[in-house]
């Protein structure tokens, strides 16, 4: 799809309409503190503890997206979602390894309210009454927020601390960006084929995800108060 046509997709339109919220979710002070090297290590550990448990719930949600891929969709579509699940498996393994390094005890973590709210929302999305178009759009956006956020920490003038480079590369790498573009294509195609009611449902979910991502970052900065 050419750049111009791509701008006319529903996902591009919703990103434009929610520009302020999207920018708040992808330029959060938590991310900025990684980017400028001022991050408090306790905040980083705090985020990691919470995110590990979020990702475990995300796996269940993505499994539900996989189930909703239409049987008549090209093989590639199923492969992209399956690749997403595989990426989450490696994300979980990575969290466990990093937790070891940072001396974090993942099994002792108490989930905080913003994380609980987000996980509850994912459970709602897992239900059968969330159509594929809305579910795959949600999945794309969840991955995009992390990609756009962490990409900024790899820019030339970024002062990301050495110990955090593997973290920011996980979501900010060109490969991860490419993967979010593949998800975006699936979302746009599904939305094109969706009914008006389904599109409206997807649009509401889109906004809710941005709000929840923003609150998740706020929670990550909680330790410093
Ligand atoms: C809250 C959140 N959003 C997105 C991602 C990227 N999988 C994540 N790990 N955590």
C-beta 98 within 6 A of ligand 1: no
Q: Quote the CA–CA distance of 66 and 135 in Å, as a whole number.
A: 10
DSSP 76: H
75 is in an annotated binding site: no
Please give the average per-residue pLDDT across 106-117, as a whole number: 95
Cβ neighbours of residue 216 under 8 Å, at least 6 residues apart? 50, 51, 54, 114, 115, 118
* pLDDT for the residue 224: 45
Give me the architecture of the 3-224 domain, per CATH.
Answer: Up-down Bundle (1.20)
**Is residue 225's pLDDT more than 50?**
no
**Is residue 5's pLDDT more than 90?**
no
Over residues 140-186, the pLDDT tens digits come to: 999 999 999 999 999 999 999 999 999 999 999 999 999 999 999 99
The yes-or-no answer on residue 213 being catalytic is yes
- Nearest atom in ligand 1 to 216's CA: 1
User: How far, in Å, is the centroid of ligand 1 from the Cα of 144?
Assistant: 9
* pLDDT for the residue 190: 98
In 3-state terms, what secondary structure has residue 180? helix
ipTM: 0.98
Please give the average per-residue pLDDT across 184-209, as a whole number: 98
The residue among 224 and 16 whose pLDDT is bigger is: 16
Of 39, 19, 42, the residue nearest 29 (C-alpha):
39
Q: Quote the CA–CA distance of 200 and 45 in Å, as a whole number.
A: 37
- pLDDT-derived band of residue 2, with 50, 70 and 90 as boundaries? very low
């Amino acid at each position: 799809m050419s750049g111009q046509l791509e701008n006319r997709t529903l996902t591009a339109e919703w990103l434009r309409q929610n520009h302020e919220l999207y920018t708040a979710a992808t330029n959060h002070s938590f991310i900025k503190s990684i980017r400028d090297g001022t991050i408090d290590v306790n905040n980083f550990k705090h985020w990691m503890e919470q995110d590990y448990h979020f990702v475990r719930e995300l796996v269940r949600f993505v499994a539900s997206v996989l189930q909703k891929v239409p049987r008549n969709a090209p093989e590639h579509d199923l492969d992209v979602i399956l690749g997403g699940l595989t990426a989450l498996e490696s994300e979980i393994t990575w969290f466990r390894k990093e937790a070891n390094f940072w001396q974090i005890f993942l099994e002792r973590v108490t989930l905080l309210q913003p994380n609980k709210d987000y996980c509850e929302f994912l459970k709602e999305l897992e239900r059968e009454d969330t159509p594929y178009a809305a579910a795959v759009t949600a999945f794309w956006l969840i991955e995009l927020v992390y990609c756009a956020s962490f990409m900024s920490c790899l820019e030339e003038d970024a002062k990301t601390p050495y110990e955090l480079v593997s973290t920011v590369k996980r979501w900010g790498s060109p490969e991860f960006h490419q993967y979010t573009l593949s998800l975006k294509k699936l979302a746009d195609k599904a939305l094109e084929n969706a009914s008006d009611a389904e599109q409206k449902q997807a649009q509401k979910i889109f906004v809710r995800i941005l709000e929840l991502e923003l609150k998740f970052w706020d929670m990550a900065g909680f330790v410093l108060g």
